[in-house]
């Protein structure tokens, strides 16, 4: 009955439920064992046998390799006792239970292996994703640092440009003032030169007149 419960468990992780043939055989074998007294643990007084519900159907049990090994040992012992106690009866139902156990354990092993591979794959994906996140975060931080450096450099260059522009403006204004002063001086010098030339011509003319009268 424990083997029937283990094999036909509808809530097991591997998901192998009772088939029309295997579940019926397992339940029938469990009921026959509980009524015949072949297996230890059968109850008296109308209570359900261990591994069975009150309706006589197998109850849920978690499938594991340890439990499968224990049930295989119990089934082999059961077959040996049947051969001794009831030599005329066959052991096809026991063999079917053994095959169901093997099939269920094989499914469990495959699903455990698939689960392990999936977990490893997910861990690799998560690790790769986290590595990319860290790398991208480092790249973003480095780009932000470069941007801050560029901003500081831009401010410094802008301040230098503003100072140079102000200095150039002052020098242009000073140059314009110097040019205006130079032009005024040039005009004054030209006027004075013209007056001096006129004065020189007058003096020369008077001199020549005086020299002519003296002769």
Q: Is residue 51 very low, low, confident or very high in pLDDT (cuts 50, 70, 90)?
A: very low
Q: pTM here?
A: 0.38
Higher pLDDT, 18 or 61: 61
Taking the mean position of all CA atoms in its chain, how far away is CA 95? 51
What was the pLDDT predicted at 13?
35
Residue 168 has pLDDT above 50, yes or no: yes
What was the pLDDT predicted at 7?
45
Task: Specify which of 62-66, 89-93, 204-208 reaches the highest per-range mean pLDDT.
Answer: 204-208
What was the pLDDT predicted at 20?
39
Give the least confident one: 88-92, 160-164, 189-193, 197-201: 88-92
* Assigned token pair, 183: 């032009």
* Average pLDDT value for the chain: 76
Tell me the C-alpha distance between 206 and 204, whole Å: 5
Tell me the C-alpha distance between 103 and 8, whole Å: 12
Tell me the C-alpha distance between 61 and 20, whole Å: 19
Residue 30 has pLDDT above 80, yes or no: no
What was the pLDDT predicted at 62?
57
Instruction: Give residue-wise pLDDT tens across range 89-137.
Output: 777 887 888 888 888 888 888 998 999 999 999 999 999 999 999 999 9
Residue 17 has pLDDT above 50, yes or no: no
Tell me the C-alpha distance between 9 and 60, whole Å: 5
Residue 36 has pLDDT above 90, yes or no: no
Percent of the chain with pLDDT over 90: 42
CA nearest 23: which of 113, 141, 104, 131?
104
Tell me the C-alpha distance between 94 and 3, whole Å: 9
CA nearest 106: which of 52, 146, 68?
68
- DSSP secondary structure of the chain: -HHHHHHS-TT-TT-----TTHHHHHHHHHHHHHHHT-STT---TTPPPTTB-TTSPBPP----HHHHHHHHHHHHHHHHHHHHH-TTS--HHHHHHHHHHHHHHHHHHHHHHHHHHHHHHHHHHHHHHHHHHHHHHHHHHHHHHHHHHHHHHHHHHHHHHHHHHHHHHHHHHHHHHHHHHHHHHHHHHHHHHHHHHHHHHHHHHHHHHHHHHH-
């Amino acid at each position: 009955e424990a083997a029937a419960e283990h094999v036909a468990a509808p809530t097991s992780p591997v998901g192998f439920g009772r088939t029309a043939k295997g579940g019926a055989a397992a339940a029938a074998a469990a009921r026959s064992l509980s009524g015949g007294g072949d297996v230890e643990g059968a109850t008296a007084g109308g209570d359900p046998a261990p591994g069975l519900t009150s309706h006589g159907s197998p109850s849920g049990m978690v499938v594991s390799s340890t439990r499968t090994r224990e049930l295989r040992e119990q089934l082999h012992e059961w077959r040996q006792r049947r051969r001794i106690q009831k030599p005329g009866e066959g052991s096809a139902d026991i063999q079917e239970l053994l095959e169901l156990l093997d099939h269920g354990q094989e499914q469990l092993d495959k699903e455990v292996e698939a689960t392990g591979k999936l977990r490893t794959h997910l861990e690799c994906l998560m690790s790769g994703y986290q590595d990319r996140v860290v790398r991208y975060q480092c790249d973003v931080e480095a780009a932000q640092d470069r941007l801050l450096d560029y901003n500081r450099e831009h401010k410094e260059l802008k301040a230098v440009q503003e100072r140079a522009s102000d200095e150039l403006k002052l020098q242009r204004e000073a140059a314009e003032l110097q040019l205006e002063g130079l032009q005024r001086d040039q005009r004054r010098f030209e006027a004075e030169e013209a007056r001096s030339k006129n004065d020189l011509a007058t003096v020369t003319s008077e001199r020549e007149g005086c020299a002519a009268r003296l002769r």
